Structure 1
């Protein structure tokens, strides 16, 4: 039997009564790798937690322009990991990216900063995990895609929703087992509370976030692209800013992000998909339905803040006379599921390190990150113009004619 992941099992078994020489299963391994966190806010802390929980890497240091964020994250690290060496705080981005003791960089700064940070990070040659969305504009996303084309180290995009338990199981059932036959249509729903507060409230403004479709919905466009196994051909969207932040101002600027939408996407292989967004619902609810020529898959994840006994996840496959039906409740161990994004961030990290070690695991590539931005940008254009957007025409106008 291999040794247990001591970080994972700490909350389940007691071993404090043992001396170090009496620990075998619970002996603490020294991390093989060191990561620096670029961006020390809420998501930065989530990346720290899952790194420490996974155990093969440790956190060496952080860089952020906000003193409050730096102080808060250093305090959090001391309290959560009192036996660890204190975080190194870098005074410049360059120093954080090029520290020779560090193996990987995790970039989780505000969206609009990604392009400039990546330009510096790729000079280091280190492994890179870049939080979603990879950029706020199609042009910047294309530039990052080109920078990553011949990159020798791992360059992964933080589209971790594909690693949530309901989607992991749905991918297995639909793309590997072909449980519903050939996919014909896909529908995804997200109903949730409004965007939460951020430092300088950057996520309330399209200029800094890229807009709701790019900031938040890139996760779902990535999933639609993944299940469709094809490139998007046409996009039509309706939506608006009907409830949230209509009277919100920050330093004289008015919020301008949509809070509800319907998006229809036709793929080159003929698969039809739709996405339904509502960001003024009193819950966190996600649902996917995939219809094939031999059945249907439905799965959902639900947190409704009610004191009721119910399952937070559900998945069903109905195949009629073509096969057995299945219902299940996909989940991960509690400590993993509570570490962030229903455990998606943990497995994103686990696969990141696996890929660093040459043990290939499927994660969101820079190419896939780019196509999630393409759909988001097309949906934004469609709402503004009221037109069906041709992806090829949009790319020709915005990208291909300029390179």
Structure 2
């Protein structure tokens, strides 16, 4: 009989419900603890989600004293760093929701804690589990495009600004970039094989979020609702990155990979004012190449599936614990994502290009 995997959940908001549902759907997995800093909220979550084996805690450090195999960190962004570092030092494997942290330095410390503890730190980018996202990476890595030298990615909602903790810099770190832009970055960087970012030149604004005409919490809105950046990556690759929560436009365009032997154009799935970003699936893929000197474009069929991508990432975390596998989406990879967001904020504030400096781990 397989060992029962014992799980704790830190943070009991809406995203924690998705984690809880995924864990409950798996055999030999038990949620035995839930922590939330707001008094009574963890117990309410346990009651609502019908978790009879779970204990409630107001302090996540007390939860970490239990015999747990892993924890899901579902707190607001600002608490990702402290809870992850504490959990790793307590000997627990960690699945942390995106974005990885609020600052680049926090992400570095999270990776260092994982390396020091020997425990897994994996970051919750569920779009990677879409077979179409895997196909994009396969095409880019196959050599069909030749030498990839330019990538354009990002997405934009005509209207789709969140509220609450998402719009306050002290709690979220960044706005549209941390919420939805990180998905665009992961899509591009993962397909390219995670090249190291070198420099960033960026611009950000928040014309919509700070205007009561467009946002009901305009007085509290102090993050960006739009950002654009030119990023130099190792391997002489340039990444054009753009993201928006709100705009007077229907789209910011497709994602494109330009190579010396071909190009790949990818559009996002979905429709409506909250669509147009890479937090979901793929709408279309087209390969542009030459055949016998003629310009040809080939439609890549979309892979139909019924996977619950969110549940897939949680299942993979559990499987990695059970099989003693490396982190499915390791913090070392997502560190580059965080470094770019940090670089965008620094460049936009200073109105100049900035250099990205990262630890040289062995």
TM-score for the superposition, normalised by structure 1: 0.75
1:204 matched residue in structure 2: 167
Cα offset, 1:270, TM superposition:
0.6
The alignment status of 1:88 with 2:55, answered yes or no, reads yes
1:125 matched residue in structure 2: 91
Residue pairs, 1:34-49, within 5 angstroms? 34-49=6-21
Cα offset, 1:386, TM superposition:
1.5
TM-score for the superposition, normalised by structure 2: 0.83
- 1:45-69: per-residue Cα shift (whole Å, max 9, x none)? 1111222334453322211123574
The alignment status of 1:386 with 2:351, answered yes or no, reads yes
One of 219, 223, 227 as aligned partner of 1:257: 223
Give distance in 1, aligned partners of 2:225 and 2:201.
17
The alignment status of 1:268 with 2:238, answered yes or no, reads no
2:154 matched residue in structure 1: 189
Unmatched segments (≥5 aa) in structure 2: 274-280
Relative to its length, the structure with more helix (as a share) is 1
1:224 matched residue in structure 2: 188
Indicate how the Cα distance of structure 1 residues 319 and 361 shifts in structure 2: closer, same or farther if over 3 A, else same. farther
One of 67, 72, 76 as aligned partner of 1:106: 72
Q: Say which one has the larger Rg.
A: 1
2:134 matched residue in structure 1: 168
Which SS does the other structure have where 2:122 is aligned?
strand
Cα offset, 1:140, TM superposition:
1.8
8 Å Cα contact 1:285-1:302 kept in structure 2: no
CA RMSD of aligned residues (A): 3.2
1:62 matched residue in structure 2: 34
1:24 matched residue in structure 2: none
Which SS does the other structure have where 1:273 is aligned?
strand
Give distance in 2, aligned partners of 1:183 and 1:53.
41
Unmatched segments (≥5 aa) in structure 1: 1-28, 79-83, 338-342
Indicate how the Cα distance of structure 1 residues 87 and 196 shifts in structure 2: closer, same or farther if over 3 A, else same. farther
2:200 matched residue in structure 1: 235
Aligned residues: 344
Give distance in 2, aligned partners of 1:378 and 1:184.
21
- 1:197-243: per-residue Cα shift (whole Å, max 9, x none)? 3xxx2211112111123444233233333233321122111220011
One of 370, 381, 393 as aligned partner of 2:335: 370
Indicate how the Cα distance of structure 1 residues 95 and 244 shifts in structure 2: closer, same or farther if over 3 A, else same. same
Cα offset, 1:377, TM superposition:
0.8
Indicate how the Cα distance of structure 1 residues 86 and 359 shifts in structure 2: closer, same or farther if over 3 A, else same. closer
